[in-house]
Structure 1
Amino acid sequence: MQTLPKERRYETLSYLPPLSDAQIAKQVQYILDQGYIPAVEFNETSEPTTFFWTLWKLPLFNAKSTQEVLSEVQGCRSQFGNCFIRVVGFDNVKQCQVLSFIVHKPGSSRY
């Protein structure tokens, strides 16, 4: 067993290599398939214990396709490209956020 090098980790999926656009789309599709409500959030830093994330527009209550969600990610990225951007999934039965993952890091050309 090998110890991972000490480096900054970011939320769900942070121990994996950066997700490709197709992998991000699959994760968003999973959110929709589970009946979770997707939302896009952004912040200058990803430190969850110190800062709150800002919601980009309203949660996407009526989103039916991954493209709807990814369009909002792209809109957020074009306006706040210097911020971390994440997609979250809310469970309307449990009334809480059940998953989140970062889709954009500052200085990155990824989705």
Structure 2
Amino acid sequence: MAVQAYEQSLKYETFSYLPPMKPEQVRRQIGYAISQGWNPAVEHTERGTTAKTSFWYMWKLPLFGEQNIDAVLAEIEACHREFPEHMVRFVAYDNYSQSQGQCFVVYR
């Protein structure tokens, strides 16, 4: 088996090495995070930045206790409409471990 070389494009999260997720896949990932009891949040940043030089701006406050996947998707869409040239990512905060339970870029 040959080793696969990745393009020289910027990689931001674990899922960025995979093909872009379809809307239903994004929905299922958000549903998983909510089912784990994690708090969803939306962040955005300018395109073309690297992990070392980028700062992700929080879109509003985290959606503490949100159980509705559609509400989370609506906030992701609102952030993308407000900042169409920015990358937008979904973050799920785990209260128990006090860290991110999940994080992936929705709009590159």
Taking structure 1 as the reference length, the TM-score comes to 0.87
Paired residues of 1:38 and 1:87 also in contact (CA < 8 A): yes
Matches within 5 A, 1:24-63: 24-45=26-47, 46-63=49-66
Q: Residue 15 of structure 2 aligns to a residue in which SS?
A: coil
Match of 2:3 in 1: 2
Question: What RMSD in Å do the two structures reach over aligned CA positions?
Answer: 1.3
Match of 2:85 in 1: 82
Paired residues of 1:89 and 1:99 also in contact (CA < 8 A): yes
Q: Structure 1: how far apart are the matches of 2:51 and 2:61?
A: 20
Q: Structure 2: how far apart are the matches of 1:50 and 1:35?
A: 31
Paired residues of 1:12 and 1:99 also in contact (CA < 8 A): no
Higher helix fraction: Structure 1 or Structure 2? Answer: 2
One-letter amino acid of the counterpart of residue 7, structure 1 = Q
Structure 1 unaligned blocks of 5 or more: 106-111
Q: State the identity %.
A: 38
Q: Structure 2: how far apart are the matches of 1:47 and 1:5?
A: 16
Q: Structure 1: how far apart are the matches of 2:34 and 2:75?
A: 15
Q: Structure 1: how far apart are the matches of 2:98 and 2:76?
A: 23
Match of 1:22 in 2: 24
Q: Structure 2: how far apart are the matches of 1:54 and 1:37?
A: 17
Structure 1 stretches of at least 4 aligned residues deviating more than 3 Å after TM superposition: none
Structure 2 unaligned blocks of 5 or more: none
Paired residues of 1:32 and 1:38 also in contact (CA < 8 A): yes
One-letter amino acid of the counterpart of residue 19, structure 2 = P
Taking structure 2 as the reference length, the TM-score comes to 0.90
